[in-house]
Protein backbone atom coordinates (compact mmCIF):
# COMPACT_ATOMS: atom_id res chain seq x y z
CA UNK A 1 0.00 0.00 0.00
CA UNK A 2 1.25 3.48 -0.81
CA UNK A 3 0.63 6.47 1.39
CA UNK A 4 1.13 10.20 1.26
CA UNK A 5 2.34 11.38 4.67
CA UNK A 6 1.57 15.07 5.11
CA UNK A 7 3.24 17.36 7.65
CA UNK A 8 0.64 20.04 8.34
CA UNK A 9 1.79 23.66 8.40
CA UNK A 10 2.11 25.69 11.60
CA UNK A 11 2.52 29.39 12.34
CA UNK A 12 6.26 28.73 12.59
CA UNK A 13 6.53 27.07 9.18
CA UNK A 14 4.33 29.76 7.60
CA UNK A 15 6.61 32.40 9.13
CA UNK A 16 9.49 30.75 7.29
CA UNK A 17 11.15 29.79 10.56
CA UNK A 18 14.14 27.63 9.72
CA UNK A 19 14.50 24.25 11.43
CA UNK A 20 17.36 23.90 13.89
CA UNK A 21 20.56 22.07 13.03
CA UNK A 22 19.48 19.38 15.52
CA UNK A 23 16.08 18.91 13.87
CA UNK A 24 17.59 18.65 10.38
CA UNK A 25 20.04 16.04 11.65
CA UNK A 26 17.26 14.12 13.44
CA UNK A 27 15.07 14.17 10.34
CA UNK A 28 18.03 13.03 8.23
CA UNK A 29 18.58 10.09 10.57
CA UNK A 30 14.87 9.23 10.56
CA UNK A 31 14.73 9.39 6.75
CA UNK A 32 17.75 7.11 6.65
CA UNK A 33 15.84 4.51 8.71
CA UNK A 34 12.85 4.88 6.39
CA UNK A 35 14.98 4.34 3.30
CA UNK A 36 16.78 1.34 4.81
CA UNK A 37 13.40 -0.20 5.70
CA UNK A 38 12.26 0.26 2.09
CA UNK A 39 9.45 2.56 3.22
CA UNK A 40 10.38 5.96 1.80
CA UNK A 41 9.86 6.57 -1.92
CA UNK A 42 10.03 10.39 -1.91
CA UNK A 43 9.87 13.37 0.42
CA UNK A 44 10.31 17.14 0.46
CA UNK A 45 9.69 20.27 2.49
CA UNK A 46 7.52 23.09 1.15
CA UNK A 47 8.32 26.79 1.29
CA UNK A 48 5.74 28.93 3.12
CA UNK A 49 2.57 29.78 1.21
CA UNK A 50 3.76 33.37 0.81
CA UNK A 51 5.81 31.92 -2.08
CA UNK A 52 2.83 30.04 -3.51
CA UNK A 53 -0.38 30.62 -5.45
CA UNK A 54 -3.80 29.09 -5.93
CA UNK A 55 -5.84 28.76 -9.10
CA UNK A 56 -9.61 28.59 -8.76
CA UNK A 57 -11.48 26.54 -11.36
CA UNK A 58 -15.10 27.30 -12.18
CA UNK A 59 -16.26 25.93 -15.52
CA UNK A 60 -13.89 27.51 -18.05
CA UNK A 61 -12.81 30.28 -15.66
CA UNK A 62 -9.35 30.23 -14.08
CA UNK A 63 -8.65 32.80 -11.34
CA UNK A 64 -5.17 33.18 -9.80
CA UNK A 65 -4.82 34.10 -6.13
CA UNK A 66 -1.31 34.86 -4.85
CA UNK A 67 -0.11 33.62 -1.47
CA UNK A 68 0.16 33.92 1.47
CA UNK A 69 -2.97 32.07 2.63
CA UNK A 70 -4.35 32.96 6.04
CA UNK A 71 -5.76 29.60 7.15
CA UNK A 72 -2.72 27.70 8.39
CA UNK A 73 -4.82 24.57 9.02
CA UNK A 74 -5.43 24.33 5.28
CA UNK A 75 -1.73 24.25 4.49
CA UNK A 76 1.06 21.69 4.20
CA UNK A 77 4.69 22.10 5.28
CA UNK A 78 6.14 18.85 3.96
CA UNK A 79 5.35 15.36 2.75
CA UNK A 80 6.63 11.86 2.11
CA UNK A 81 5.47 9.05 -0.19
CA UNK A 82 5.70 5.71 1.61
CA UNK A 83 5.24 2.06 0.69
CA UNK A 84 3.96 0.09 3.70
CA UNK A 85 2.49 -3.36 4.25
CA UNK A 86 -0.51 -1.96 6.10
CA UNK A 87 -2.20 1.02 7.72
CA UNK A 88 -0.85 0.05 11.07
CA UNK A 89 2.71 -0.04 9.78
CA UNK A 90 2.36 3.50 8.42
CA UNK A 91 0.96 4.75 11.73
CA UNK A 92 3.76 3.10 13.71
CA UNK A 93 6.40 4.76 11.53
CA UNK A 94 4.76 8.18 11.89
CA UNK A 95 4.76 7.78 15.68
CA UNK A 96 8.53 7.24 15.54
CA UNK A 97 9.06 10.48 13.62
CA UNK A 98 10.82 13.32 15.46
CA UNK A 99 8.39 16.19 16.03
CA UNK A 100 8.87 18.06 12.73
CA UNK A 101 8.09 21.43 14.36
CA UNK A 102 9.27 23.41 17.38
CA UNK A 103 5.84 23.22 19.04
CA UNK A 104 2.83 20.90 18.78
CA UNK A 105 2.26 19.62 15.26
CA UNK A 106 0.26 17.17 13.20
CA UNK A 107 1.02 14.61 10.51
CA UNK A 108 -1.73 13.25 8.28
CA UNK A 109 -1.66 9.83 6.60
CA UNK A 110 -3.59 9.35 3.36
CA UNK A 111 -3.81 6.30 1.15
CA UNK A 112 -2.87 6.73 -2.51
CA UNK A 113 -5.20 5.54 -5.28
CA UNK A 114 -3.88 2.66 -7.34
CA UNK A 115 -5.09 1.87 -10.85
CA UNK A 116 -7.22 -1.04 -9.63
CA UNK A 117 -9.16 1.32 -7.34
CA UNK A 118 -10.78 2.97 -10.37
CA UNK A 119 -12.65 -0.13 -11.50
CA UNK A 120 -14.30 -0.31 -14.90
CA UNK A 121 -13.77 3.38 -15.69
CA UNK A 122 -10.09 2.62 -16.05
CA UNK A 123 -10.01 1.03 -19.49
CA UNK A 124 -7.05 -1.03 -20.71
CA UNK A 125 -6.20 1.89 -23.04
CA UNK A 126 -6.11 4.33 -20.12
CA UNK A 127 -4.05 1.91 -18.08
CA UNK A 128 -1.48 1.53 -20.85
CA UNK A 129 -1.36 5.30 -21.30
CA UNK A 130 -0.89 5.81 -17.58
CA UNK A 131 1.96 3.31 -17.45
CA UNK A 132 3.65 5.03 -20.38
CA UNK A 133 3.20 8.48 -18.82
CA UNK A 134 4.54 7.30 -15.45
CA UNK A 135 7.54 5.60 -17.02
CA UNK A 136 8.42 8.85 -18.81
CA UNK A 137 7.82 10.87 -15.62
CA UNK A 138 10.29 8.64 -13.80
CA UNK A 139 12.88 9.29 -16.48
CA UNK A 140 12.30 13.02 -15.91
CA UNK A 141 12.75 12.50 -12.19
CA UNK A 142 16.06 10.65 -12.59
Distance, in Å, from the CA atom of 9 to the CA atom of 48, rounded to the nearest integer, reads 8
Contacts of 44 (CB under 8 A, 6+ apart): 78, 79
4 binds another protein (CB under 8 A): yes
99 binds another protein (CB under 8 A): yes
- For another protein, the closer of residues 64 and 85 by Cβ is 64
Interacting residue with another protein among 12, 14, 123, 124 (CB under 8 A) = 123
Strand partners for 4: 81, 110
121 binds another protein (CB under 8 A): yes
| 8 A C-beta contact, residue 64 and residue 53 | yes
37 binds another protein (CB under 8 A): no
142 binds another protein (CB under 8 A): yes
Amino acid sequence: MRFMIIVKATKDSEAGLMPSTELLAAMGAYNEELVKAGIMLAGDGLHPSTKGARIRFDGEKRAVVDGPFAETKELIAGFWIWQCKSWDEAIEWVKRCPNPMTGPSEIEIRQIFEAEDFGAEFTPELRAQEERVWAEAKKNAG
